[in-house]
Amino acid sequence: RLISRVRSVLGVELSVRAVFEAPTVAGLAARLVGAAGARPALRVGERPGVVPLSFAQRRLWFLHRLEGPSATYNMPMAIRLSGALDHDALRAAVADVVERHESLRTVFGEADGVPYQRVLENVEVDIPVIPTTESDLPRHLESLAARTFDLTGEAPLHAALLELSPAEHVLSLVLHHIAADGWSVAPLSRDLATAYRARAVHHSPQWSELPVRYTDYVRWQQELLGSVHEPESVINQQVGYWENALAGIPERLKLPADRPHPVVATYTGGVVPFTLNADIHRSAVALARETGSTLFMVVQAALAALLHKLGAGTDIPIGSPIAGRTDQALDDLVGVFVNTLVLRTDVSGDPTFRELLERVRETDLAAYAHQDVPFEHLVEVLSPTRSLSHHPLFQVLLAAEDIDPELIDLPGLRSTLRPVGTGTAKFDLSLSYRERHTTEEGSPAGIDCRIEYSADLFDQATAERIAAHLSRLLEEAVRQADRPLRTLDILMASERQRIVGDWNATAYESAGHGLTLKDLLEEQAARTPERIALAFEDSELTYADLHARADRLASLLTRRGAGPERVVAVAVPRSTDLVVALLAVLKSGASYVPLDPDDPAERTAFVLDDAQPVLLLVTEETSALLSGIGSGPGRILLDSPETRALLAGSEADHERPEDVSSAGALLPHHPAYVIYTSGSTGRPKGVLISHEGIVNRLLWMQAEYGLTREDRVLQKTPSSFDVSVWEFFWPLITGAGLVVARPGGHKDPAYLADVIEDHRVTTAHFVPSMLRAFLSQPAAATCTSLRQVICSGEALTADLAQSFSAALGIPLHNLYGPTEASVDVTHHTCPPQAGDAHPPIGRPIWNTRVYVLDAGLAPVPVGVVGELYLAGVGLARGYLGRPGLTAERFVACPFGAVGERMYRTGDLVRWNGAGELEYLGR
């Protein structure tokens, strides 16, 4: 297989021997260059007194010094030995191997700041025997794997024999990476087997001498690469290549992590093993063959495509270990030769998988041809921003493993080799895989994969999902290589059902279904006519009085042309009059458009011109402010003596609004209000919200947070923001009391604390920034009447939620929603004690569906950032008088009934595993 692959990749004839011993195509490429005479030969040479370190050793030594002794660079192995074990032979065999491979008996030191290595002549190998049981075995192996090495004083190998029974043992070998790499495992196991076989019959092993020693390699590496001070040296030429290839590489790949990078990585990690079945394996090998690439390249393309789909962008650097044994003489040595290549994968432009694979092939072959520059040197030259929180140049690793677990063949024993988890992770994510083949024909029998993840960033469940997505993507990609990546699905059917269906199962028919806001308000007034509906400064109004006033104004409005599908503008400072005015407009069947007296005159003029209200309700004060604005609609001055008399009922006017209405009956789909949002384009746009949308929102709120008649809700949000809608009307449809803050009071935390205390307010809203200001008031702590606070409008941070719960110890409700969807669409309650680590915006409210979609409008998996789209009864009818803009933001919904729309929020969110949304910005 390898021969034909190398032939097709390199177009070169190769000897069988070279192919069989070469670990990768990459190694072959380098050897070909060597064979062509372009490299110095690797020979046994003189050993100077002090031997410097190879590049790879230098890096490990540096890390050892920097981080202190740790298990991060341990290579633990467990060899299971079933059968009658000859303990003495095993002990002698391990000693033979240590004797044969100098790396296993080398210690390190530093002289004048320059590190050196020293090969010890004799080392005692102690192999303690530890009795254990099957259930204790993993714990034993893990604790052995976690032992740290003193590289200056002891051999970088620990061995121990775990004894389960006289005929069942596990040999634990833990090496420090400075002494060995993944490609050392094969010669190590082979030599161990040879030595054991010999020692079992009381011989010493008969093996041919190793062609070179590790220290010869160190010298050769320096000769080969030349000096960084010579412009034409191999190292400088190759560096030139890499500088170009890696220019502008992303500093840190955006991964679908559960948590942000900590300031300093802890290197704790976990492992998820999974298997790609023989079918996928066969198709992947076939695709590799067909495209002149390798299985590694296929897996790399799939990994890059997956990361792209998981939100990592289109420029995906993937690190990959490369054997570095570019001379045949190194094949049988135990030692660290491995180098790391950065394979930059370009996923831009929605290529087909085949096109992506072609790009990967080009990139990889070029990288292999420049594989000699030690990674550490590249890092120095390219000097990416160094950080203790993440790996430089790449954070995701891909490694093909070719260690056969049945490799060790000991006489009289059945033995299998297993890597042992160290509980550490060097990278954010690393994927390693090993091919299996059928014993008879050697045909593909499946690929064993492992994802090792950083526990700083990922939960086990997330890593498991990534594994499942990779399997799914590979399966689709290798069978349908000509489909664009966009169309490759990574969601499993069950996952799609959960995200799109189960988490959106919000259909609910409430008792108020089919009613308008006007109906709800009037029904409540009929239930509790004598209760106090509203308090403002020193005055109070009962439900009966409030409605009587509003009814009188409503009939005036109706006579002056207000009705369904018509707009009445309300420019009234916060006051009893404001509440009466809003109620009256609703009663007339018209929708209200609030004008904030504090808004700049140009905005108000724009809104008046845009909304084309039939009437404008003003006070003396706002009338003066609006004097500069042309003729406009007819005005009603609420605080004129005539209107005052009318509202107080001292003038005869008992017509009910319906009696004089000319515009027909009010229906649930008629607009209730029009609120202008500033919008990013700068030009405000009026959002038309229907009665059914806001009724659903208000009834949901009552079902969820249940106001009683004893509750009092603070009204402080300017009426031009939609939060004010529930502040006004939620208490008034439930029999609770409305406490209206004085004009300007919403910006004054000390005043707010006073009002809350004086009026025994139980429920109040704050945007997070104002909540922070409020909590910084000593008086906030005395607001003991509060039983819940509602937050929305901006991201609620963990620290704010925590200081809130520390100060008040009551529930904090985080609501999210754009004006375009009836105030709020999702909700989450931070528990009264100890807030959330990252308060989510939560789950959808009644009759509301939320979709987190990628650029192709496909749902993204849990944990992946996408754009939030909303559907359901709360959606606005659109932007007043702006059909083009409406069509742009309210688009056809592919998940709902025919003709259903969804609103594109522009907000970036992701699902957490519990079916709640997390907000990440715009």
Single out the segment in contact with ligand AMP by CB under 6 A; choices: 161-169, 269-277, 321-329, 793-801.
793-801
Indicate which of Mg ion, ligand AMP, none lies near residue 919 (CB less than 5 to 8 Å, by partner kind): ligand AMP
The least distance separating Mg ion from the CB of residue 818, rounded to whole angstroms, comes to: 6
Max CA separation in the chain (angstroms):
123
Q: Which two tokens stand for residue 205?
A: 């092993």
Q: Report the C-alpha gap between 771 and 737 in whole angstroms.
A: 22
The least distance separating Mg ion from the CB of residue 679, rounded to whole angstroms, comes to: 14
Nearest Cα neighbor of 913 from 854, 847, 838, 845 is 838
Nearer to Mg ion by Cβ, of 311 and 818: the residue is 818
Nearer to Mg ion by Cβ, of 157 and 841: the residue is 841
Nearer to ligand AMP by Cβ, of 907 and 916: the residue is 907
Q: Which two tokens stand for residue 358?
A: 């072609």
Single out the segment in contact with ligand AMP by CB under 6 A; choices: 45-53, 344-352, 442-450, 787-795.
787-795
Nearer to ligand AMP by Cβ, of 337 and 879: the residue is 879
Single out the segment in contact with ligand AMP by CB under 6 A; choices: 299-307, 374-382, 704-712, 815-823.
815-823
Residue 903 as a binder of ligand AMP (CB under 6 A): the answer is: no
The least distance separating Mg ion from the CB of residue 445, rounded to whole angstroms, comes to: 56
The mark string for 772-811 relative to Mg ion (x by CB under 5 A, - otherwise) is ----------------------------------------
**In Å, how far are 67, 72, 327, 606 from 59, measured between CA atoms?**
12, 13, 22, 66
Nearer to ligand AMP by Cβ, of 156 and 839: the residue is 839
Kind of pairing, strands 106-111 and 114-119? antiparallel
User: Binding to ligand AMP (CB under 6 A): which residues in 650-709?
Assistant: 677
Residue 816 as a binder of ligand AMP (CB under 6 A): the answer is: yes
Q: How far is CA 58 from the centre of its chain?
A: 35
Single out the segment in contact with Mg ion by CB under 5 A; choices: 108-116, 461-469, 480-488, 813-821.
813-821
The least distance separating ligand AMP from the CB of residue 888, rounded to whole angstroms, comes to: 16
The least distance separating ligand AMP from the CB of residue 417, rounded to whole angstroms, comes to: 51
Single out the segment in contact with ligand AMP by CB under 6 A; choices: 212-220, 269-277, 489-497, 814-822.
814-822
Q: Which two tokens stand for residue 177?
A: 């990476």
Nearer to ligand AMP by Cβ, of 557 and 815: the residue is 815
Single out the segment in contact with Mg ion by CB under 5 A; choices: 325-333, 666-674, 817-825, 906-914.
817-825
Nearest Cα neighbor of 116 from 218, 10, 44, 9 is 218
Tell me the residue nearest to Mg ion as measured from the CB: 817
Strands of 438-542 (E only): list them.
Answer: 444-454, 532-536, 539-542
Residue 795 as a binder of ligand AMP (CB under 6 A): the answer is: yes
Place of tokens 């034409």: 232
Mapping DSSP to helix (H, G, I), strand (E, B) and coil, where does residue 316 land? Answer: strand
Nearer to Mg ion by Cβ, of 287 and 593: the residue is 593
Q: Report the C-alpha gap between 409 and 440 in whole angstroms.
A: 19
The least distance separating Mg ion from the CB of residue 716, rounded to whole angstroms, comes to: 15
Nearer to Mg ion by Cβ, of 335 and 817: the residue is 817
The least distance separating ligand AMP from the CB of residue 826, rounded to whole angstroms, comes to: 8
The least distance separating ligand AMP from the CB of residue 709, rounded to whole angstroms, comes to: 29
Burial of 883 (0-12, 13-18, 19+ CB in 10 A): exposed
Reduced 3-state DSSP string for 680-740: CCCCCEEEEEEHHHHHHHHHHHHHHHCCCCCCEEEECCCCCCCHHHHHHHHHHCCCCEEEE
Q: Pick from 726, 905, 909, 910 the residue near ligand AMP by CB under 6 A.
A: 905
Residue 912 as a binder of ligand AMP (CB under 6 A): the answer is: no
Nearer to ligand AMP by Cβ, of 484 and 679: the residue is 679
Mapping DSSP to helix (H, G, I), strand (E, B) and coil, where does residue 170 land? Answer: strand
Mapping DSSP to helix (H, G, I), strand (E, B) and coil, where does residue 820 land? Answer: helix
Q: Report the C-alpha gap between 305 and 478 in whole angstroms.
A: 12
Strands of 293-376 (E only): list them.
Answer: 315-322, 339-346
Residue 70 as a binder of ligand AMP (CB under 6 A): the answer is: no
User: Binding to Mg ion (CB under 5 A): which residues in 542-571?
Assistant: none
Sign of the dihedral through C-alpha 281, 285, 288, 294 = positive
**In Å, how far are 39, 125, 397, 446, 677 from 568, measured between CA atoms?**
86, 92, 62, 70, 17
The least distance separating Mg ion from the CB of residue 793, rounded to whole angstroms, comes to: 6
Which runs of consecutive H residues, i.e. helices, occur in 201-316? 214-225, 234-245, 278-290, 295-307
Residue 814 as a binder of ligand AMP (CB under 6 A): the answer is: yes
Q: Report the C-alpha gap between 189 and 140 in whole angstroms.
A: 22
User: Binding to ligand AMP (CB under 6 A): which residues in 839-858?
Assistant: 841
What one-character DSSP code corresponds to residue 5? H
Residue 922 as a binder of ligand AMP (CB under 6 A): the answer is: yes
Indicate which of Mg ion, ligand AMP, none lies near residue 903 (CB less than 5 to 8 Å, by partner kind): none
Q: Could you tell me how many residues of this chain bind ligand AMP (CB under 6 A)?
A: 17
| Chain residues in the site for ligand AMP (CB under 6 A) | 677, 722, 792-796, 814-816, 818-819, 841, 905, 907, 919, 922
| Chain residues in the site for Mg ion (CB under 5 A) | 817
